[in-house]
Amino acid sequence: MVKASRRDEVAHKMERESLEMDVVFVGAGPANLSGALHLARLIADHNEKNENALGEIQIAVIEKGASVGSHILSGAVMDPRGLAELIPDFKEKGAPLESEVKEDHFLYLTRKRAIRSPINPPPLNNHGYYIVSLNRLTAWLGEQCEEAGVNIFPEFPGAEMLYGEDDQVVGVRTGDKGIDKEGKQKANYEPGVDLLAKVTVLGEGVRGSLTKKLIQRLGLDEGREPQVYSLGVKELWELPDDRYPAGRVTHTLGFPSDQWTYGGGWISR
């Protein structure tokens, strides 16, 4: 059972609900959902095979979106090996696979032409992989987690880390609800919840707000190479079925980028 308690919040002059968990994953992306599912299965397997069972371990995944997958809009070409290791019968369980990759094209673009390379660079060979919608795949992974007993909390954005002695991370506080654009409380105001945990896993995506604050507070980037980022732009095109065949992945270089700018594109269906 999830233990609930209340403690006085001097700084906010209010009582804030606390939930005691064992492990909290911040962000319901593919990595965190896979980690939560794998952990739940390891615990269940341990409890089944050992006399010194761990008992009921509470695992939670919090997600800022209204539902799991609602903030993940990208399409992707997926190597199925990782998913097969996590869920060997993923096809039988109805994993949302759009199509299997059957052909790869590699094009160099000029302003008016597309020149196809006779050879694909090895990293761009995706034959046998699957084209997926990460929105649908993530929602499906969330369902698998819930079946395994993982607690999924949508509309629970992580607002700040909770620290104990010696800057030990002891959990995460979720954002307050019912706040207007000027930061004032509205009639439907609800304070966030303190999720206390023995282990807190951050999987917020690129430049996550909690991760940035944690790195700054604990100096985790000292003596390390700076992070490198890339910018991606996605467009969804609706075309007749015969315009672009299912199972083809096209990679591009060149126009509109100049010769000094790293970049490219890809198309899949």
Confidence tier at 190 by pLDDT (50, 70, 90) = confident
Burial (CB < 10 A; 0-12, 13-18, 19+), residue 167, is exposed
Phi-psi region of 134 (alpha: psi -120 to 50; beta: other; left: phi over 0): alpha
In a domain, 249, yes or no: no
Q: State both tokens at 106.
A: 């590699």
Task: Say if 30 falls within a structural domain.
Answer: yes
The token pair that represents 135 in the structure block? 């929105």
Whole-model pTM: value is 0.86
What is the Cα gyration radius of the chain? 23
Residue 195's CATH number? 3.50.50.60
What number is the average pLDDT over the span 12-33?
Answer: 87
Residues 6+ apart with CB under 8 A from 227: 221
29-76: pLDDT as tens digits: 999 999 999 999 999 999 999 888 888 899 999 999 999 988 887 788
In a domain, 263, yes or no: no
Q: What is the pLDDT of residue 177?
A: 86
The fraction of the chain above a pLDDT of 90, given in percent, is: 61
Confirm whether 87 is domain-assigned. Answer: yes
Domain residue limits at 30:
3-100+131-221
Distance from the first to the final alpha carbon of the chain: 44
Confidence of residue 1 (pLDDT cuts 50, 70, 90): very low
Instruction: State residue 135 phi and psi, 5-degree precision.
Output: -60, -50
Tally of domains in the chain: 1
